[in-house]
Every structure is written in structure tokens, then in C-alpha cells.
Amino acid sequence: MAKELAAKAKEAFVDDDFDEAVDLYSKAIDLDPNCAEFFADRAQANVKLENLIEAVEDANKAIELDPLLTKAYLRKGTACMKLEEYQTAKNALEKGASIAPSESKFKKLIDECDLRISEEEKILVQPVASPSVKADLTHVSSAPAKPKFRHDYYQKPEEVVVTIFAKGIPKQNVNIDFGEQVLSVVIDVPGEEEAYHLQPRLFGKIVPEKCRYEVLSTKVEIRLAKAEIITWASLEHAKVPAVLPKPNVLS
């Protein structure tokens, strides 16, 4: 039954009915949640619908189920490139290329990532914060992705601290990934069938290797290292200009 639904989903995809394809793949996944192919194919349909965060999540699940499934790395790389997450995309594409070195698509996309990364490095300006700039410790509440847990954040010139008020969650139940401008949090809640997800596209870019998190008895605390010393107007990406810290100018 699951394979039949997946076959219908592929037909819908070929007919450019991507919403129907996602719906059918979702039904197939409900019947066979351990099939990496279904997740990778749903990721492709989500890319077409510009559901990019969902596409990355599907690709990650496909990779988890089958680390040798090359198209899962291709889907992740494609979605991350559309999110302008070029380093994350490159990492995924390079992994896929190592599994399938004869696949030319990987090299083409990796070259494009290298070009974009090079362009970003040329235009990236790192403002120097004045010693007089004080940390902005004003808490700003933002609506949780799902009603299970509330989350808040505050920021300093060099980092953003996100707190998820999840009490009594075992450390092994928390999975957090950092992208260039994406935070992905998945918490398997004891006694709940559905996991908690928080996957915003962030207001500004971060440095993934410098980010960290800690699972405490009453909360999960996540520290995001800013790529630029700017004030985030919100936690999530929006068409609101960033604010550079004002230098201390003597009058």
C-alpha cells in the first residue's frame, strides 16, 4: 500500500502537482516511516513548493535512515542553497559526491556553493563593537512553533540565547543542528507520539561551529554565535533591516 501511494506521488510530481505529491508521500510515510526513499522524494516535492525548512528536515531524516542514499544529500544541498546556507549545502553535497563520485550534479552545485561563499566573504563586513556598547538583555517573547513548549530569546552583541522551557527532558531526547541561518530543534517528548519541532530561519547568520546548547532540568538553553555584531530585530528572518551597534562618538 505504501509503495502504491509513493507511485501515485511520483505521478503527481511529474504532473507538477506538488501539493498532491507531498500529501501522498506523507501518507506513504505514515504506513512505512522507515523508508528513506519516501522522505527523500517528499523533500524534492517540498523544494518545488519552496517549503525549504521541511525539505531539509525530510532530507536529514532520509540520511538518518540510509546514510548511503545519495539523492538525500542532493535534496539537502539544493534546499540549503535556496536558503542561502551555502556552507551547509556544500557539506551535504560533498558527502553525496564522496558516495557517488561519478554524479556530475554534485560537482556543479559544489562549484556554485564555492562561488557564493567567496562572494559572501568579499562583502562581509565585521563591525567592531565599541567597549561602551552594552549587551541587550531585554527578553523578547516569540510564539513557539508548537504549543507544547514556550520559547524566549535575548541577545548580546556577540550572541543570541534561545531558551526552550521544556521540563524534565532527557538529554538524549534532544537533537539540535545549526546551519548558517537555520536553527533546527527536535525534542522527543516522553509520552507523546509527536516530537516538538522548532526550525526557524534566523534573522541573521550564525557561526555553527561556535554555537552550543545545554539540556537542563527545566529548560534547553541554546547559544547562537552571531556571524556579525548586529542587533537582531527578531529571532526569525523578516524583511526588517539589521541595526549596527552605534559607536561611542565623543561630542
Q: Are residues 154 and 199 in the same domain?
A: yes
Closest CA to 53 of 34, 79, 29, 88: 79
Of the residues 94, 123, 152, the one at which a domain ends:
123
Structurally, the chain folds into a number of domains equal to 2
How far is the C-alpha of 26 from the C-alpha of 31, rounded, in Å? 9
Same domain membership, residue 30 and residue 103 = yes
Q: How far apart are CA 103 and CA 96, in angstroms?
A: 9
User: What crossing angle do the helices spanning 70-82 and 36-48 adopt, rounded to 10°?
Assistant: 30
Phi-psi region of 141 (alpha: psi -120 to 50; beta: other; left: phi over 0): beta
CATH number of the domain bearing residue 244: 2.60.40.790
Query: Do 6 and 91 share a structural domain?
Result: yes
Say yes or no: 231 and 171 in one domain. yes
At 139 the pLDDT is 52
**Domain, as residue range, for 38:** 2-123
Same domain flag for 132 and 86: no
What is the β-pairing status of strands 183-187 and 151-155?
unpaired
Which of 80, 97, 123 is the last residue in one of the domains?
Answer: 123
User: Which pLDDT score is estimated for 144?
Assistant: 43
Does residue 87 share a domain with residue 43? yes
pLDDT in tens, 123-177: 654 454 444 444 454 554 554 444 478 888 888 889 999 999 888 889 999 999 9
75, 92, 123 — which closes off a domain? 123
H or E segment to which residue 153 belongs: strand 151-155
Least confident of 6-15, 104-113, 194-203: 194-203
Q: What CATH number is attached to the domain comprising 41?
A: 1.25.40.10
